[in-house]
Amino acid sequence: MKLPPQQVAVLEAASADEPRRIADLAADIERPPETVTGAAFELEDAGLVDVIEETEEDVELTEEGREYAEEGLPEVRLYEAALDAGADDKPVSMGEAIGASGLEGPQVDIALSNYARKGYGSIDGGDLSADPDADPSADAEAAALETLAEGGTVEDDDALDQLARRDLVAVRERTVRSMLLTEAGVTELMTGVEAAEEVGQLTPDMLASGEWRDAEFAAYNVEADAGEYTPGKTHVLRQAAERVKDVLVGMGFQEMEGPHVDADFYINDCLFMPQDHPARNHWDRFALEQPEKIDELPEDLVERVERAHREGVGPDGDGYHSPWDEDFARALALRGHTTSLTARYLSGVAGEDTGSSKTPRAAGGAGDVEAPARYFSVEKAYRNDTLDATHLLEFFQIEGWVMAEDLSVRDLMGTFREFYSQFGITDIEFKPTYNPYTEPSFELFGRHPETGELIEIGNSGIFRPEMLEPLGVEADVMAWGLALERLLMLVTGFEDIRDVHGTLCDLDFLRDAEVVY
């Protein structure tokens, strides 16, 4: 029996006793795996081998998982610190135990959320107790992390599922093919198999010489697996951003631009956000080390903003009566929201650089913006949030505002209903809330198409006089900050923000998902 050379090599390397993996066969005969796969399917069509397909799971530690495998799970570290502090005898201060554990930032929340779940102790108000009978060495999740870090295999499916939910491991499925000789294949090998000289590709020289007339061409198996090619495409989040821009431009809005790094003055002070507000401490923001501060701020604008903070605005205004420091206002940070762009446009310093020695021009009463006006941006904002299904350290915010006379909450709600209807979203609910810079204020909620749950999709309100008067704005201004990722959730039905961007994104989702409007 004559067969193409690659089929002969594969057939001779196969076994009739136990299946052999394609990858092992390829290594033995020193051929590419895709060549061996094609030959295997051709031999299967001839009845000489059986191709067996199995699905296997690959489990790999994430970066966070590797960190915990080395340093210990946060809840275990908290338990050990609590024992050292005597929490097995009587409750100790939660702050004392956390400080002794060395946990910081999001790890504290992770430790507290898993501490009682695993039976390490209890948390009552600000006190923490430790169960002396708890055994960290019996922690199935910790043992699984250690096994995976050493290259072992974990058989405990419950522990793996929990680690996957915590994003400490990544579980991926792959198809593994093996090959087994059939009786017919064994018979042909015993009878004798010869390699036929076949041509796999027609060349210009063969055409010119006429050699192609006598050549025996290899047959092509059109059912064999082809190589996977994933051509570039526009990211679904970018598609959504461009669609949002088209919708807002169609509604009469102009786009704003501005720096990602800005002075706290524009990020917070111009928004009537007190300097002792918790959101302005180092836990919630990403401050810059070099350069640390903006060079200059408009003197008259600074004076008006400071006066509003200290004394308030109008006969009924009272201000905050809290410390206000220009050096604090000049500190540079990644913007926590794109409302800093709104503050710049309304104050007339929209195009100024944050780090140059150039002196910004003085604000002159809303700059070049005159009522009526509509502006928007779809830009990134940055916050030191705890990572979960709806929060990342960076996200896209749909910022927008309208300046006009006699604006009301009805105008704001109508704008939202018109905007979201362009995406097929009509089930929107509103909830009153508090913002330092808007009154009245309300949050927006939309219903998730898969889970049916209401998820927060934005915040909004009408700017209060304490913000507008220092900026020189005399008309009403209604404004909002909407989450682009939450909008995409409502449009596509995905449930975890980490599926669409970040280091753990779902590549299959990004390659296959279509944004339908």
Give mean pLDDT, residues 356-370. 45
How distant, in Å, are the alpha carbons of 257, 260, 346 from that of 330? 20, 15, 19
pLDDT tens per residue across span 415-431: 999 999 998 888 899 99
- 314 SS3 class: coil
- Residues facing 433 on adjacent strands: none
Tell me what pLDDT residue 358 has: 37
pLDDT tens per residue across span 69-78: 888 899 999 9
Q: Rounded distance, CA 465 to CA 266, Å?
A: 16
DSSP line for 112-128: HHHHTTTTSEEEETTEE
The answer on pLDDT for 514 being more than 80 is no
181-185, 271-275, 484-488, 513-517, range with the lowest pLDDT:
513-517
The torsion region of residue 452 among left (phi > 0), alpha (psi -120 to 50) and beta comes to left
Tokens 């979201």 locate to 420
Q: Rounded distance, CA 479 to CA 428, Å?
A: 17
Q: Cis bond leading into 372, ω under 30°? A: yes
The two tokens of residue 4 are: 């193409």
Tell me what pLDDT residue 264 has: 92
Q: Rounded distance, CA 336 to CA 393, Å?
A: 10
Above pLDDT 70, what percent of the chain? 91
User: Under a CB-based contact definition with an 8 Å cutoff, are residues 393 and 380 in contact?
Assistant: no
Q: Rounded distance, CA 309 to CA 467, Å?
A: 9
pTM beyond 0.85: the answer is no
pLDDT class of 285 with cuts at 50, 70, 90: confident
pLDDT tens per residue across span 298-323: 999 999 999 999 888 888 888 888 88
Query: Between 1 and 206, where is the model more confident?
Result: 206
3-class secondary structure per residue, 10-45: HHHHCCCCCCEEHHHHHHHHCCCHHHHHHHHHHHHH
Nearest residue to 337 via CA among 394, 298, 296: 394
- Backbone Cα Rg of the chain: 32
For residue 203, give every residue at least 6 positions away whose Cβ sits within 8 Å of its Cβ, in sequence order, or none.
none
pLDDT tens per residue across span 219-274: 666 766 666 777 778 888 888 899 999 999 999 999 999 999 999 999 999 999 88
Tell me what pLDDT residue 225 has: 66
- Residues facing 3 on adjacent strands: 195
Tell me what pLDDT residue 402 has: 96
- Residues facing 388 on adjacent strands: 391
Q: Rounded distance, CA 463 to CA 460, Å?
A: 9
How distant, in Å, are the alpha carbons of 50, 75, 131, 379 from that of 101? 57, 10, 17, 38
Query: Between 275 and 277, where is the model more confident?
Result: 275
Q: Rounded distance, CA 43 to CA 179, Å?
A: 10
